[in-house]
Amino acid sequence: MASVIRGRGIAGGTGTGPLLASSEPISFLGGVDPKTGMVVEPGHPLLGKSVAGCVLFFPHGKGSTVGSYVLYALRHNGKAPAAIVNREAEPIIVVGAIIAGIPMMDQPDPAIDRIPEGTRVTVDGGKGELTCEGELEGH
């Protein structure tokens, strides 16, 4: 049975991939390599992991407004996330998602924290819904 996590739709479209979650904000400028999609920010919990093709869940963005263009470059290089989910969207990530065509939602139901990392999920950025197959942890 599928579980649906509702939130607020930000950037339309759908994206499917394994969930990659961070408890820390992400700065795309200097924090993610636009050519490889690898997180390169020293000390970041996702250091050494790729954002390519995943549904990337993190609290919010941080850093320079140029981070929006890094998201665009990731798309251009075939290394963009399949979708983005933020606890609270802010302009840097929203603009980047829109110009790169990355589906995005924010303000997800707290049940999102019970989805195991790596679980295949689908985000509908227009509806503001994340769907995963199977039961959530703790159910």
Contact 81, 28 (CB under 8 A): no
**22: Cα separation from own chain's centroid:** 9
Is 68 catalytic? The answer is: no
> What type of residue sits at position 86?
N
96-138 pLDDT, tens digit per residue, is 999 999 999 999 999 999 999 999 999 999 999 999 986 677 6
Q: Spot the catalytic one: 3, 23, 64, 68.
A: 64
3-29 pLDDT, tens digit per residue, is 999 999 999 999 999 999 999 999 999
Residues whose CB is less than 8 angstroms from the CB of residue 42 and which lie 6 or more positions away in sequence, other chains included: none
* pTM score over 0.85: yes
Q: Which domains does the chain possess?
A: 2-133 (3.50.30.10)
Contact 72, 102 (CB under 8 A): no
